[in-house]
Amino acid sequence: MTIRWGIVTSGKISHDFVNAFNSFPDVGDQVIAAVAARDKSRAEEFAKTHKIAKVFASYDEMAMSSDIDVAYIGALNPDHFKLSKLFLECGKHVLCEKPLCMNYKETESLLSIAKSKNLFIMEAVWSRFAPSYMALEKEIQSGKLGDVQFVEVNFGVPIANVDRLRKKDLGGSAVLDIGIYTLQFAQFVFREEPVKVTAFGEINNDGVDVVDTIILEYSGNRRAVLNVNAKIRLWNKATVYGTKGRVTVEDPFHFPDTLIHNDGNVEKFSLHTSNQKYNFGNSAGLVYQALEVARCIKQGLNESPRMSHKESLLLAKLRDMVRKQVGVHFEVDDKEV
């Protein structure tokens, strides 16, 4: 069974996703079959660049076609719910860029639509499929660190002036865009809902958070301190501390290629290099989530155990809690889904 992908939008991350896919040595029985954009000429240009066979004049046309099995949604945050819903209701599986939705309400509604249609959907938290994350999980589960007590993560990228980050109507929010990676890292380590969330930050003149400091408290007085910053570049690493030692996930922790183990051993994970031009760091790693999507679809799964629906719901809940404390409110928060 060939898995046929339909790329939704001709944007930067869609470019990176297709580049990562096409440059990977073996994607198995999968193909990038089609693309759709708001404007057909942009879709045609995208298709020409990436040698994609089919171009659709609109998202709706591709959703209704029988030419694709799964949609990759590379749209702006406010359109994730609408477009994922469109493709699900047309019987297509979905991989939607992070954050899956603007808030918990949308996330819950979208996942229930997928369940009712018996279709696969996943939030593209691509970090979870990094080979280095598999090694990190093994290290934590091995007991070498002892009992994990503390996690600290920094994620600072100077993108506060990028429209999709700084403008509320485009879904701008540091916690939605980059803070999600720090939250998912803490959840990857502790695997339980925090008992307390404390957050404070800075908002811009559009009411969008550009800096967030988040403290997650877990059972047994375990904690995570997350520094999120859209104004300046930080040393974007994550460290997991236990009673017997620590492991550091080097910059960029959100898709790392280096782990520094407690004994000082530096473990490297090479990404398939190619002459592709990417918009974002380590984007070659975007292919690993696509391999997982295909695996799950072929096994008839509706979700991936590595980035489950429960996890997406919890991340949405935590983002809503952070936004409430920092003072960021979206119009969509007042709407019934």
Ligand X SMILES: NC(=O)C1=CN([C@@H]2O[C@H](COP(=O)(O)OP(=O)(O)OC[C@H]3O[C@@H](n4cnc5c(N)ncnc54)[C@H](OP(=O)(O)O)[C@@H]3O)[C@@H](O)[C@H]2O)C=CC1
Q: How far apart are CA 249 and CA 188, in angstroms?
A: 13
Q: Verify binding: residue 10, ligand X, rule CB under 6 A.
A: yes
Q: Verify binding: residue 38, ligand X, rule CB under 6 A.
A: yes
Q: Verify binding: residue 21, ligand X, rule CB under 6 A.
A: no
211: amino acid identity, one letter:
V
Q: Verify binding: residue 42, ligand X, rule CB under 6 A.
A: yes
Q: Which residue lies nearer to ligand LSZ5JGMQ by CB, 41 or 279?
A: 279
Q: Verify binding: residue 280, ligand X, rule CB under 6 A.
A: yes
Q: Which residue has the tokens 């009673």?
A: 243
Q: Which residue lies nearer to ligand X by CB, 78 or 242?
A: 78
Sign of CA dihedral 188, 193, 196, 198: positive
| Cα–Cα nearest to 211, from 199, 219, 202 | 202
Q: Which of ligand X, ligand LSZ5JGMQ, none does residue 37 bind (CB under 5 to 8 Å by kind)?
A: ligand X
Q: How far apart are CA 325 and CA 320, in angstroms?
A: 9
Token duo for residue 121 = 């959907």
Distance of CA 69 to the CA centre of its chain: 21
Q: Which residue lies nearer to ligand LSZ5JGMQ by CB, 159 or 175?
A: 159
Sole binder of ligand X in the list 24, 72, 126, 218 (CB under 6 A): 126
Q: Verify binding: residue 97, ligand X, rule CB under 6 A.
A: yes
Residue nearest to ligand X (CB): 11
Looking only at the bridges linking them, the beta strands covering 222-229 and 209-218 are antiparallel
Q: How far apart are CA 12 and CA 41, in angstroms?
A: 16
Sole binder of ligand LSZ5JGMQ in the list 69, 79, 177, 251 (CB under 6 A): 177
Which residues contact ligand X (rule: CB under 6 A)?
Answer: 9-13, 37-39, 42, 74-77, 97-98, 124, 126, 164, 170, 177, 280
